[in-house]
Structure 1
Amino acid sequence: MRKKAKVDPWSEAIDHGWREARSHAAFRHLRCGPRPLDAGAPSDIRAYIGGEVIYYHPRHRAEASEWAWVFAHCLLHAGFGHLDPRTTRAGNIEQAGRHQHQRQPHPAYRAACCAVVDQYLVTMKIGRRPLEFPLPPGISDEHETAARWRETTVPEGCRRDDPPDFLIVDVEAAQRFDHPRHFAAGLAAAARDALATAGGEHAEHGRRPKRPWDAALGWFVSSYPLLGALAAGMTLVADVDLARTWDISIAAVNAEAGEIYINPLAGLNDEQWRFVLAHEMLHAALRHGERTGARDPHLFNIACDYVVNGWLVEMDVGQMPEGLLHDPDLKGCSAEEVYDRIATDLRRQRKLATLRGRGLGDVLGEPLPRPGTPGRYVDLDEYYRNALVTGLAYHLGGGRGTVPAALEQAIRALDQPPLPWDAQLARWFDEHVPTVDKRRSYARASRRQASTPDIPRPAWTRPEENVRLPTFGVVLDTSGSMDVTLLGKALGAIASYATARDVPRARVVYCDAAAYDAGYLPVEEITRGVRVRG
């Protein structure tokens, strides 16, 4: 039976070392690979990187942990841009290297670059530093250090007598490899992995410990009835990249999606997260984004922040983070009243910060784009209204303490459904089109009462003198948003109310892509039907 070939432990150590270094998330996107040198290469060469290849001496004896450190050292040279001639001065580049189109670094520049790499490698905790390599001296800028060492001398502890472990390529190759960009992408991935691990996403058996914002949201569901129903229907989106892209300092909310976007790096404790989440939930439930109207959106957001923060401080919900907007003098004011006050000093108010940041509103008009986001198929007004009204009833019935009067009034206002359009139209006629007053008269009665003409009887009569009759204008939306049935009901209601108030004519304007003025039409013509244009 043929015996198996004996595995070389030193070659196996090289393979294990490369896999350990390459497995680090920071090097995930670097397009570099190892390649052995010829067996006759100088023995003082351990490894060096040139372009996309890390050349190593196959006969060098070292443990796998040391090889991992050596390979990571070479990869960091590429990631830090030490192979790119555009990142350094011309004086730091010497004669041609071992391969064509590659040059060696100046000894001072090489020593400074290695010192920076070794210092960074200590924080990455990859492998073990070989004993023959010096300890990093603790420098932060290799270019300034190299310039200083070139004028003086390289310190004894940083001097390297072996051949350089990196070679500088030409500009075309540096542009093609673009190692710093790939290294930056790897660092971003490593940061995400670290945050996921810290947040418990990689915990054993899928049991993830609650993050502080999740615990704060759960507290509302279990212990705070006023906002419990709201909290149960909100979704927390904790994404560092999303927060960085949209400049979210602490939190923001979108009522349409029912999502609260938070910055996991905000550094708040549990009590502060309770305050922040309650703040955003009230923004969504009270529809502050829809109430802006023609006002400046950012200033109205600031005004709403003053009002909401005042309520939360009064109710002692969590702990208000430092720097948020709060003014006790505005207690009891509505957001519209606060807006009228602060709108006089636009320059100062634009410097104020919401939970999203300075100059930015934390009430978002649209959901932030992110993968895997299903839409909501419910009536948002009804959802938020029912959640707040039900929560208020449980809150007051359970003896949870008082609620600020202004907040209770705002919630109860949500519980009153809006008037239907025909009732609003009747109210408008009552306010703007008065009826003709009747006068008491003792004149002769009509012929129906001629049997007793000598008996005067009181009666209601209209004045016989000329009076100015009222009129009004009607703007009809004929763009298609109103169907034929609804349009007919609207015209009929207008004609009936006009007849009841003795309006002889009404001006009708049809609005589609352009306005069509039909002029003053008799009420009877509107009743019989008109030709709608648009």
Structure 2
Amino acid sequence: MMIAEDKILAARTALMWDHPFFGALAVRLTTIDATDDPRIDTMATDGRNLFFDRKFVDGLKKPELVFVLAHEVMHNALEHHIRRQTRDPRRWNKACDYAINGELADTKIGTMPKGGLIDPAYTGLSAEEIYRLLPEENGGGADGGQGGQDPGGCGAVLDAAPAHDEAALAEARAEMQTAVRQAANIAKAANAGSLPAGIQRLVDELLKPKVDWRSVLRRFVDESTTRDFAWSRPNRRLVPHGVITPGTVSIGVSHIVIAVDTSGSIDAEILRAFAAEINGAFCEGAVDRITVIYADAAVQHVEEFETGDELMLHPAGGGGTAFSDTFRRIERDYPGARACIYLTDLFVSDFGREPSMPVLWGVYGDPRAFDHLAATVPFGEPISIAP
């Protein structure tokens, strides 16, 4: 019978021959026997090391171990060891497993061990999105009261550094980006210059620059206003820290219209995150007035907010979807507005006439459909709103 270290070496060699992209990422990990570590009852990785429980490895057949190694590699390539922040570790591991296993099964890498977490409904979603969709579990604490951090039995992911250590996390992210590029080049060379279609799509997604919708939103708000600095309105974000600096005031009334598509349901977490960003613009003096229009196929309700108010969004589901009535109302009643932000799932065919102001489409819903839906927008700038 082969010892655990030899089985891991054989599985790594198989990955190098059959799936060189995954193999190149696997061989860079330092293998560590963690049989006595209570956190690890299967395998785990923190981006640099591969921890293993000897009994777990002994119980796997070679195709299963190949799958587990690829699974651990994907945790790192997708930066799961960097992105947890303050989320519950056990729930985060479940979400990450669902994000990985569907992709690996489609690529036909090894055999997933019995009990591995897989659901076609989650394949293609980010771990953050899946984490939000997972049902609540009984039991508290970091391990949900069940011991260990690997509820899926295919290998866990550990943090590369504490969430507050931004320098260490940035270093880990840069290191992983370099490793993914190198692995992609190795795989291309091994396959006569091209990667299999499924792997190529995965690599493109991994290396595609990440766009933070919050930054785009603030840039959009800033570009729609003309501001100056004034001591009469200090920066309210710094006052609690005992720092008094001049805040910004708009020259003229800075008025933004927010349209909310109420034909479907909007996740409460997305609404809270969006409202928090707009409230930040309120505090900094970037916006003086906000008009919120709730509409499905027609305008249903309008609310007004001014400086000092807290933006609260409470849309209710409605009927069909059309944007033409919303833009007619904006042009008729709010011609002086500087910009319009439209929160919608973009499942619509009636966009209406382009208004005289810039439009930012905040698109919520399944992020896998974003590229297709964004291509249907006849005017304005679409961004994907996700936690």
User: What's the TM-score once normalised by structure 1's chain length?
Assistant: 0.37
Structure in which a larger fraction of residues adopt helix: 1
- Structure having the higher strand fraction is 2
> Which one scores higher on RCO, CA 8 angstroms, separation ≥ 6?
2
Structure (1 or 2) with the larger CA radius of gyration: 1
